[in-house]
Structure 1
């Protein structure tokens, strides 16, 4: 065998070893890319409830498109209906924000805020009214805007407790725009603007009602159940929670209620069939978590005393 042929065999063997070592890496990258594409697809799909979700949690005929180009959301006009007469209620609750406060995924339509009001009524004997202005897909620009609407102004100004979830759709907008190359820098660029918007929301609420406790609900990772290997999103959600907490708790009468660990550590399935929103058990667990914080700070007792 010639020397040239020997070197050719050595080269081919060496190339084969390299290819075999790279293959698992390429397979992993390919699998990861597919997972990211699926995750992005899930986020796009869940930007608006599908027919199954709508029929089980909302009045399907009340869904209409909101053409506000700053909001890019779907509005359920039914979310503005009064659930209970506010005039005679001992405790007036107002809900603001996105699908988490709206209750998307709850077969009863109550969500955490409806379940919380029921639990408080049963535990204290007080009557509770709920006016819920939360909307599926809402982000901070539109939440700030509706705080200048007459009915929202009135409800917020008369509220005894204000419950709010916002920021998840702001966060997921960044994720969807950069889902193939998630970088912390993308979120850091958005972070400053987001904090400014959230700060404006808090100040606007306080201009309408300086006394009512504000209960701000933290974020969970909506992709945890289906895409556990995408650790970047998990890290980003936790960082976003830190941003939310440090911003809203600048107000001394605001309580940040974390729910991340509820969905991260509980073995039972707490997600609706869309694998994005909580199911009935998830919302009940959230309601109990919020009630625990209300009791810790004697918020309900203080309202009843007044």
Structure 2
């Protein structure tokens, strides 16, 4: 159940009707203890047990984006107890990056004061996730997916909603008392209009895998050695996949509501490319062998599949 801290939070900032059609924040999985945190133009649903965001949602108005100084003022959210959010101690003296789940530039739009506030809000620790510091080409593609989809949606007023989060798996390695996610997901949503279907929601989904490409025995050994040396668990080169939106629901156990039925990026079942085989959501999300059938490995933006404009 979402717990919105109305007395201390700023006015609700994530607008589920920003696209003109309903694109709501996904709901938590059964039994998940979460807290909803509103920020400027985005929201974070914080998992109080994992102390990391379960998901984020941001509204992007491409025509009103502003360039403001980046800064680097990472800070705890004062509305949340320090023992319910991961802070600087997780990232100190190691090669873990504080990866923005909501990209710094995405909510930075509107008037100057609002844009600067949004920029500062993205540096709240609930918006951070531990990621491998050495970003390779696949990671850069991951960070650029929204640019690609936003360009595709230019015809539709450059309005975009993006949801991002980690895949919490039961076997995520524990480092400094925190289970480190090894996979992340992203869903882009926009609306398109046609003479027959005004205001139609469309979505597409992606998964980033930062697990090292080792067999089970080698991975366990490498993880044990790293943790014994008080180092982060091994994280491998990033691989990015375009996946059916429904598979994100299966991986995470989250309720994606209308986002699943609006999927235009799912790969059709053709010879040599069978439908996805990811199981239905269960009490043990995060269990999957990559890449399942129906997942497309992305190496460049040209590999991204989107429906042609109507």
TM (norm. structure 2) is: 0.27
State the TM-score, normalized to the length of structure 1: 0.27
* Bigger Cα Rg: 1
**When you count strand as a share of all residues, which structure comes out higher?**
2
Structure possessing the higher relative contact order (Cα contacts under 8 Å, 6 or more residues apart): 1
Structure with greater helix percent: 1
